[in-house]
Copies of this chain bind each other. A is one copy, B any other.
Amino acid sequence: MDMDWLSRSLERVRERRPLVHNITNFVVMNTTANALLALGASPIMAHSPEEVEELVASADAVVVNIGTLDHLFTYSMIKAVAKARELGKPVVLDPVGAGATTLRTRVATYILSLGGVSTVRGNFGEISALSGELGKTRGVDTAVYDESVAREMVKSVAKKYSTVAAVTGSVDYVSNGERVYAIKPGAPSTEELVQRVIRRVTGLGCIVTALIGAYLAVEDPLKATIAGIVTFKVAAEEAVKEAPYPGSFHVKLYDWLYRLSGDTLSKLAEGRIIEA
């Protein structure tokens, strides 16, 4: 894949400052708002059923994240996705904890069935739960990653729900139901650090989803999903080289989402996005 589009996508986010409406969980509201701002987008965090439709109408993209779900948030998410579909606004769904509880699997599946989701991104256990083929996740981040299963899963989930599906991990898989792309990790020594540290900070998957939301405002869903994942990956690699411990790494991650230029991003992503 030629990487110039990636550089241009990041620059477009920074020029247009897309308004990204987030209905997200309490744990990461601050985290994902800061990640979107650091990247260059303009987040708004709002969940009241009284205002979600109005916000969807003025937003450039919508992020729906089902962590810390309750009945009020569920209702607002459904309203927002239905409105986004009606208006043709892109939506990214993060099915946090799907597979961990019946409620979450059901809500994630229902939101996908509404038909307005451009991208669904989760970890291995969450996308497994949506594919209906694999067992129960334990917690929100504990299923064991199997790459060949991930490859098949993203394709089948993408097909099933007419969306782009992504599983993130050391190697990430993204599919639009026809093609599957793998995004490879960086240098082994850096990757070892990244894998050690990112499992010790909360909300990083949610950040990836939010970044995809920003790119959805300026790219088609397949490219936006790849761009969001690769931007996170490269920023995390730069951050961990400066700070190999979770607290400091987390701070440097925002620094690097801000510092990354389009050119640096596309250069560091070179050769790492391959059809799988």
Q: Which of A's residues lie within 8 Å of B, judged by CB?
A: 17, 19, 25-31, 33-34, 37-38, 40, 42-48, 50-51, 54-55, 58, 67-72, 97, 100-104, 138-142, 199-203, 245-248, 250-255, 258-259
Contact = CB atoms under 8 A, between A and B. Distances in A.
A72 B73 CA distance: 13
* Leading 7 A-B pairs by shortest Cβ distance: A247-B254, A245-B255, A33-B202, A247-B251, A51-B101, A51-B103, A247-B255
Given A29-B68, A37-B200, A42 B255 contact: no
B48 A139 contact: no
A48 B71 contact: yes
A138 to B, nearest CB: 6
Contacts of A247: 34, 38, 250-255, 258
A50 B73 CA distance: 13
Contact of A42 (B37, B141, B253): B141
Contacts of A28: 30
Contact of A246 (B27, B68, B255): B255
Contacts of A97: 44, 46
A248 B251 contact: yes
A37 B201 contact: yes
22 contacts: A19-B139, A26-B45, A27-B33, A27-B45, A29-B68, A30-B30, A30-B31, A33-B203, A34-B201, A34-B250, A38-B200, A40-B200, A42-B139, A42-B141, A46-B68, A50-B70, A50-B71, A54-B101, A58-B138, A58-B139, A247-B252, A248-B255
A98 to B, nearest CB: 12
Given A19-B138, A47-B68, A254-B245, A199 B37 contact: yes
A44 B142 CA distance: 11
Contacts of A101: 46, 51, 54-55
A126 to B, nearest CB: 13
A57 B252 CA distance: 37
A24 B73 CA distance: 17
Contact of A254 (B17, B102, B246): B246
A212 to B, nearest CB: 19
Contacts of A259: 245
A90 to B, nearest CB: 17
Nearest to A29: B27
Contacts of A142: 17, 19, 42
Given A48-B71, A55-B100, A246-B255, 12 more contacts: A27-B29, A33-B203, A34-B202, A42-B140, A42-B141, A44-B100, A48-B70, A50-B103, A245-B258, A247-B252, A248-B252, A248-B255
